[in-house]
Amino acid sequence: MIDQARQAAYELLAAVRSDDAYANIVWSGILTRHDLTGRDAAFATDLAYGTLRWQGFYDAVATECSSRPWQDVDDALANVIRLGIHQLLSMRVPDHAAVDSSCELARSLGYDDQGRIGFVNGVLRAVGRRSAEEWQAAVMESRSGDAAIAAVTSHPEWIVSAIREALDVHYGARLTDGQVREALLANNTPTRPALAVRRGHRDAVPDVSPGRWSPSAALVESGMPGQIPAVREGWAIVQDEGSQLVVQALLAVPVAPPESAWLDMCAGPGGKAALLADAALEARVSFTAVELHEHRAELVRQLIGADSPAEVMPADATTRPWGSRFFDRILVDAPCTGLGALRRRPEARWRRQSSDVAGLASLQRRLLDVGLSSLRSGGVLAYVTCSPNIAETIDVVEEVLLHRDDVEVLDAREYLPQVPQLGPGPHVQLWPHIHGTDGMHLALLRRL
């Protein structure tokens, strides 16, 4: 009998690959179905998420060990072998257990011929003859340039180029291949989930340690943060510290009083909108949250809280659904490739394509332009992406400002004085490998 943890991990890989499922959405259901809790759930999560993250490297290793072209191996058998490689190279599973359980898993999937079971056995035994470090060196040696970095860090090559370009802005002429590798490897390290504690509720969130940068942050030891009572009650939100910081920066910019209205143009699922709604209530200003998709707008309503006076509009923000109203503070947290949040979304790097960037950048420019036109004079707008990709960050702001002479770019670093190494400015770039946050980008713009 194959154990439930390996079966569950296999199911996640199959769901992600064949059904285009999102790992973080289907995983808790798979764990429940297999009755996995505690250490067994932790083992299964490490196996499933780790294999998804490292898939590119494991495919490079399997290519070296496979007696037939690796790309011709069918999906199910390839997933069994990838799970086996993760146990051999990245978990403390004895070699014989990793190989035997993988053959057993293949049998449980209906592969009963000696040829294919022998193939699984043969590939994994060959992998087990070298350590992870030896395989890193071998894979690196058989490729060059960004192709080598892509294989050993387990990223598609276009993401390596995008991160290299963004780091180049950060480090300039001193940028080394080692720094590019370090930035990419940070995406393979599981994060400790962070919470944002809602105003006035610090005492309601016990058993957590403070965050690194944000006064509202609390770090959760392990497990499913969504099951923490304070999160279920709405006193805390599961939210990366980088997201908390960009909201704090927007709120820290001085705007000449009196202020009367704030706007979030891309609010769903609502983490940043909830923080802004709390602050708006305290500052006695109105708050409007716009979200294109009705089901995500509903999530915004739930997070903000039913008793909040905030207005939630399911609408396309590029059509300016708020009409002729003007705002003192606007957040444009634009849809993006999410290249800064790959730590938390193990499969995202394999799903996103470089061809997605042009369409996203065009939408980002429209959203930013509409937002700037809806700022009152002296008002401030935060343009935010959870991607450091230059085409979605610096280029978007520059292109929109090309045809506007009514906007001043602020030095966003001044509004996060507690955080070091924010880049050469004027925008802020956070990095997983430097700040331990998502790779958020923040530009602060004032309407003249």
Which three-class secondary structure state does DSSP give residue 140? helix
Four-residue CA torsion sign, 19, 23, 24, 27:
positive
Token couple for 134: 């030896």
Ramachandran region, residue 189 (left: φ > 0; alpha: ψ -120 to 50; beta: rest): beta
CA dist 114 and 120 (Å) reads 10
Residues catalogued as catalytic: 386
Is residue 392 involved in binding ligand SAM (CB under 6 A)? no
Token couple for 129: 């003859």
User: Angle, nearest 10°, between helix axes 145-153 and 177-185?
Assistant: 30
Residues 6 or more apart whose CB falls under 8 angstroms from that of 178 comprise none
Q: What are phi and psi of 223, to 5 degrees?
A: 85, -160
Count of alpha carbons within 13 Å of 436, Cβ hemisphere only? 13
Residue 139's closest CA among 189, 85, 191?
Answer: 85
Q: Which of residues 209-268 bind ligand SAM (CB under 6 A)?
A: 243, 266-268
- Please say whether the beta carbons of 264 and 329 come within 8 A: no
Beta bridge partners of 446: 380, 408
**Which residue among 52, 290, 368, 397 contacts ligand SAM (CB under 6 A)?**
290
Determine the interface stretch with ligand SAM among 21-29, 58-66, 197-205, 311-319 (rule: CB under 6 A).
311-319
Task: Note the Cα 299 to chain centre separation in Å.
Answer: 19
Closer CB to ligand SAM, 69 or 323, in the complex: 323
Q: Least Å distance between CB 315 and ligand SAM?
A: 7
**Which residue among 17, 296, 320, 433 contacts ligand SAM (CB under 6 A)?**
296
- Please say whether the beta carbons of 311 and 289 come within 8 A: yes
Q: Which of residues 106-165 bind ligand SAM (CB under 6 A)?
A: none
Is residue 271 involved in binding ligand SAM (CB under 6 A)? yes
Residues 6 or more apart whose CB falls under 8 angstroms from that of 29 comprise none
ω into residue 258 within 30 of 0, thus cis?
yes
Determine the interface stretch with ligand SAM among 95-103, 219-227, 315-323, 339-347 (rule: CB under 6 A).
315-323
Closer CB to ligand SAM, 6 or 344, in the complex: 344
Q: Least Å distance between CB 203 and ligand SAM?
A: 25
Q: Least Å distance between CB 346 and ligand SAM?
A: 18
Task: Note the Cα 417 to chain centre separation in Å.
Answer: 24
Pairing mode, if any, of strands 311-314 and 286-291? parallel
**Which residue among 64, 298, 316, 399 contacts ligand SAM (CB under 6 A)?**
316
Closer CB to ligand SAM, 139 or 394, in the complex: 394
**Which residue among 152, 194, 312, 317 contacts ligand SAM (CB under 6 A)?**
317
Q: Least Å distance between CB 323 and ligand SAM?
A: 15
Q: Least Å distance between CB 439 and ligand SAM?
A: 13
Q: Least Å distance between CB 299 and ligand SAM?
A: 8
Q: Which of residues 410-439 bind ligand SAM (CB under 6 A)?
A: none
CA dist 278 and 239 (Å) reads 15
Q: Which of residues 321-350 bind ligand SAM (CB under 6 A)?
A: 333, 335
Q: How does DSSP classify residue 204? A: G
Residues 6 or more apart whose CB falls under 8 angstroms from that of 249 comprise 382, 412, 415, 416, 428, 442, 444
What dihedral angle (degrees, nearest 10) is formed by the CA atoms of 409, 415, 421, 425? 10
- Please say whether the beta carbons of 145 and 63 come within 8 A: no
Closer CB to ligand SAM, 81 or 195, in the complex: 195
**Which residue among 6, 86, 116, 272 contacts ligand SAM (CB under 6 A)?**
272
Q: Which residues bind ligand SAM (CB under 6 A)?
A: 243, 266-272, 290-293, 296, 316-318, 333, 335
